[in-house]
C-alpha cells in the first residue's frame, strides 16, 4: 500500500494493514504447505549449520545428541517444538535450552524415551522455512554441529529455502539435495488423507495434544496447560480438538 503524500495513513489504518498482511501471509503459507502435502515429487534438503549456541556447546561438552522436531506454529509467529536428548541426562538439554536467546518457555515432559522438552521459541527457523514454502522436518545437533532436514515441493526454488536458512543462522551450507518421487500411501490407508482434511490449527492442536501425553491415562497434561502453550483460550483449544477428532472419524467411517 502506498500514497502520493506523506503521512497519508492513520495509526488505525496502519494497524489494519498490518493485520491484513498477517492474514494474507498465513493464507499463503497454508497454501504452500498444502501444495507440499499434495506434491508427487518432494525435494529433500539437508543444511549444515555451524556457530556458537548453547545447544551446540552442550552437545560437544557432554558428547550427546539433540533432536528437535514436531514443530507447531502458533498464531503469533511463535513455534512450539519438541527436544529429545540422546546420550545424556535430559537435564542437560533443559539447561541448554533455557539459555537460548529466543526461548520464551521451556517445559519438561515426563517421557522416558522422549521427547523430553517442549520449547516455545520466537524467531524459529521452522517459521522461516514455512514462510519460504518448505517444511522443517527436524533439526539435529551433534558434536557441536547442526543439521537441518527440510522438505519442499520439487518445483520450489532452492534459493528461497537457502535464504530462509541464511536469515536465521550466520554460517549455513547446503550439504545434500535429493529429489524423491512419493510412493507412500496416505498415513491412514483406506480412509483418505486425514491430514488434508484438517485445518492448520486443528493439526497443530492435535499434534500438541499427542506429543504432550494428553491421550495417556492418566493424562500427562490438561487442556488448560496445552492451550497456554499455544497462547489460546482453553475453550478454543477444546473446540479445535473436538473438530479435529470429528474430521479424523469422518475420514475413517464415511469412506467405508
Dist. CA 148–CA 165, nearest whole Å = 9
What's the CA gap between 237 and 250, in Å, rounded? 20
- How far, in Å, CA of 56 to CA of 60, rounded? 7
Please tell me the least confidently modeled range out of 21-35, 55-69, 82-96, 177-191.
177-191
State the average pLDDT over residues 94-119.
92
The 10 Å Cβ neighbour count of residue 34 is 13
Q: Write down the pLDDT at residue 34.
A: 63
Please give the average per-residue pLDDT across 36-49, as a whole number. 81
Radius of gyration of the chain (CA): 20
> For residues 128 and 167, is the Cβ–Cβ distance under 8 A?
yes
Q: CA–CA distance from 187 to each of 183, 195, 213 (Å)? A: 12, 8, 21
Contact 31, 153 (CB under 8 A): no
Residue 251 has pLDDT above 80, yes or no: no
Mean per-residue pLDDT, 207-228: 86
Q: What pLDDT does residue 221 have?
A: 84
Q: What percentage of the chain has pLDDT greater than the value 70?
A: 85
Residue ranges of the chain that CATH labels 1.10.10: 186-256
134-146 tens-digit pLDDT: 889 999 999 999 9
Average pLDDT over residues 199-206: 83
Question: CATH number of 186-256: 1.10.10, 1.20.120, 1.10.1760, 3.40.1130?
Answer: 1.10.10
For 155-186, what is each residue's pLDDT tens digit? 888 999 999 999 999 999 999 999 887 555 44
How far is Cα 147 from Cα 173, in angstroms, rounded to an integer? Answer: 10
Amino acid at each position: 500500500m502506498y500514497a502520493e503524500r506523506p503521512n497519508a495513513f492513520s495509526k488505525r489504518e496502519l494497524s489494519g494493514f498490518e493485520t491484513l498482511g498477517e492474514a494474507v501471509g498465513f493464507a499463503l503459507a497454508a497454501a504452500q504447505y498444502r501444495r507440499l502435502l499434495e506434491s508427487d515429487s518432494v525435494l529433500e534438503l539437508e543444511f549444515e549449520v555451524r556457530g556458537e549456541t548453547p545447544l551446540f556447546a552442550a552437545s560437544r561438552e557432554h558428547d550427546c545428541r539433540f533432536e528437535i522436531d514436531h514443530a507447531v506454529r502458533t498464531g503469533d509467529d511463535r513455534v512450539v517444538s519438541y527436544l529429545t536428548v540422546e546420550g545424556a541426562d535430559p537435564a542437560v538439554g533443559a539447561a541448554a535450552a533455557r539459555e537460548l536467546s529466543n526461548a520464551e518457555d521451556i517445559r519438561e515432559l515426563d517421557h522416558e524415551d522422549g521427547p523430553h522438552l517442549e520449547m516455545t521459541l520466537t524467531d524459529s527457523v521452522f517459521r522461516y522455512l514455512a514462510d519460504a514454502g518448505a517444511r522443517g522436518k527436524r533439526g539435529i545437533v551433534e558434536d557441536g554441529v547442526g543439521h537441518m532436514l527440510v522438505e519442499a515441493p520439487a518445483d520450489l526454488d532452492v534459493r528461497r529455502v537457502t535464504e530462509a536458512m541464511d536469515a536465521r543462522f550466520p554460517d549455513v551450507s547446503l550439504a545434500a539435495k535429493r529429489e524423491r518421487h512419493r510412493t507412500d500411501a496416505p498415513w491412514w490407508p483406506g480412509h483418505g488423507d486425514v491430514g488434508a482434511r484438517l485445518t492448520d490449527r486443528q493439526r497443530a492442536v492435535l499434534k500438541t495434544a499427542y506429543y504432550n501425553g494428553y491421550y495417556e491415562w492418566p493424562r500427562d497434561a490438561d487442556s488448560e496447560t496445552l492451550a497456554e502453550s499455544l497462547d489460546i483460550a482453553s475453550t478454543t483449544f477444546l473446540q479445535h480438538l473436538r473438530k479435529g477428532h470429528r474430521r479424523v472419524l469422518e475420514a475413517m467411517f464415511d469412506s467405508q
